Structure 1
Amino acid sequence: MSTQQRLSAAGFHMMIADSSSRQSYARGLPQQQVVPQQSRGKLKFVFADVEHCNCYFIGNEADYQRYQALTQQEKVARMQRDAARANRDAAYRWRYGWWGRPYWRW
């Protein structure tokens, strides 16, 4: 899942930088990072991606917490998938060796 997909799933709103003011706002932000900003006394989180989608995503604190949870879940799933793949490969090497044939056929 891409960062933009996780942001949308977490509740962030996508804003297209189609006007000059939005374009300058998006270009003024750190790119490809979720950054906190104060706006009208409220904390919001913004992710800008001018290069790929010419847009930025805006969310509140609850949206950011959901985004972090989704990111953590994806990280755990990736680690489990990598561990399962490593275990499968180790079992194959234990049975067949590095050369691809069973040890008992030597």
Structure 2
Amino acid sequence: MFTVAAFAVAGAASTPASAASTKSIDRFEDSLAAAGFEARPATTPERQAMLARLPANKLSRRAAGDDMLYVYPDPKACNCIYVGDQAAYGELRKAQAAKRIADEQQMTAEDYADPAWSWGAWGPWGPRWGRFGFGGWRGW
């Protein structure tokens, strides 16, 4: 009985993580499409074999003659690969950098969003001389 209950709890606990992971993959695939990557379905046995050779949900490079192409395989959701050239990869990197900057700006705005917040209610704060020398924290 305990074993069944433990597996039930473990299964329930892993569901939100896998849902978050799926959401993250979906967002990344949307970013790939917006950057100019093309989705190519694995509709033949040969394409299925090539899809299986690639690390799932990981962007990698593959040479195609004199060109370097970027490939993102998704064997579960679309059973396809996303393929982009150097220009599409550059657009993807630019979009990722813009998102990172926007996320940092959002976090900074949230840091200062509550002007009534005060550390004073939590007691003394910051570095000071303590019994172990400089660097102890007040109140700890």
- TM-score using structure 1 length: 0.79
Q: What displacement does 1:51 show? A: 2.4
The structure 1 residue matched to 2:117, chosen from 81, 93, 97, is 93
Q: What displacement does 1:59 show? A: 0.6
Q: Which residue of structure 1 aligns with residue 106 of structure 2?
A: 81
The structure 1 residue matched to 2:62, chosen from 6, 24, 37, is 37
Question: Which structure 2 residues correspond to residues 1-106 of structure 1 after superposition, within 5 A?
Answer: 2-89=27-114, 91-94=115-118
Quote the RMSD (CA, aligned, Å).
Answer: 2.2
The percentage of aligned residue pairs carrying the same residue is 24
- TM-score using structure 2 length: 0.61
Give the Cα–Cα distance (whole angstroms) in 2 for the partners of residues 81 and 27 of structure 1. 39
Gaps of 5+ in 2: 1-25, 123-140
Q: What's the CA shift string for 1:21-74, capped at 9, x where partnerless?
A: 212211211222221110122111101111232211001001100010011111
The count of residues paired between Structure 1 and Structure 2 equals: 97
Q: What displacement does 1:83 show? A: 1.4
Q: Secondary structure at the match of 1:36?
A: strand
| Superposition misfits of 4+ residues, deviation over 6 angstroms | none
Give the Cα–Cα distance (whole angstroms) in 1 for the partners of residues 77 and 110 of structure 2. 32
Gaps of 5+ in 1: 99-106
Give the Cα–Cα distance (whole angstroms) in 2 for the partners of residues 41 and 49 of structure 1. 25
Give the Cα–Cα distance (whole angstroms) in 2 for the partners of residues 19 and 13 of structure 1. 17
Please say which of residues 44-53 and 64-73 is displaced more in the overlay.
44-53
